[in-house]
Amino acid sequence: MLIATNALAGDTYPFAGGPIVRLNADAKQITIQTGEALRNFVVTNQSHLINRSERITFDKLKIGTPVKLNYYTNETGKAVIRRLKITYPPTDDIPDKTQ
């Protein structure tokens, strides 16, 4: 007897947010400050990194940039980013309006 189930029904994708405090380009890993804890996350080719409405690459991320993300835990226990969004433009992208 074959029983079909909706595998996605039980899937959950938690959210996290905070400033980036560490970037490891070789491991494609970022660390963010979530409250009082540091959390490590892995970026894969399937991760969507977004600044405003534009998709960006890992090398565009900067320490100190506040982000929000959702992730899943893979079979080895690593937190893998599904989607990361910069919560506001980095200050070097904001035009100087004082002049």
SS3 sequence of 22-51: EEECCCCEEEEEECCEEEEEECCCCCEEEE
> Hey, which residues does 83 pair with through a beta bridge?
48, 70
- Which domains, from first to last, does the chain contain? 12-88 (2.40.50.320)
Residue 21 — left, alpha, or beta (φ > 0 → left; ψ -120 to 50 → alpha)?
alpha
Distance of CA 96 to the CA centre of its chain: 28
Condensed to tens digits (0 to 9), the pLDDT of residues 26-72 reads 999 999 999 899 999 999 999 999 998 899 999 999 999 999 999 99
Q: What is the pTM of this model?
A: 0.76
Contact 39, 16 (CB under 8 A): yes
Decide if 19 contacts 32 (C-beta within 8 A): yes
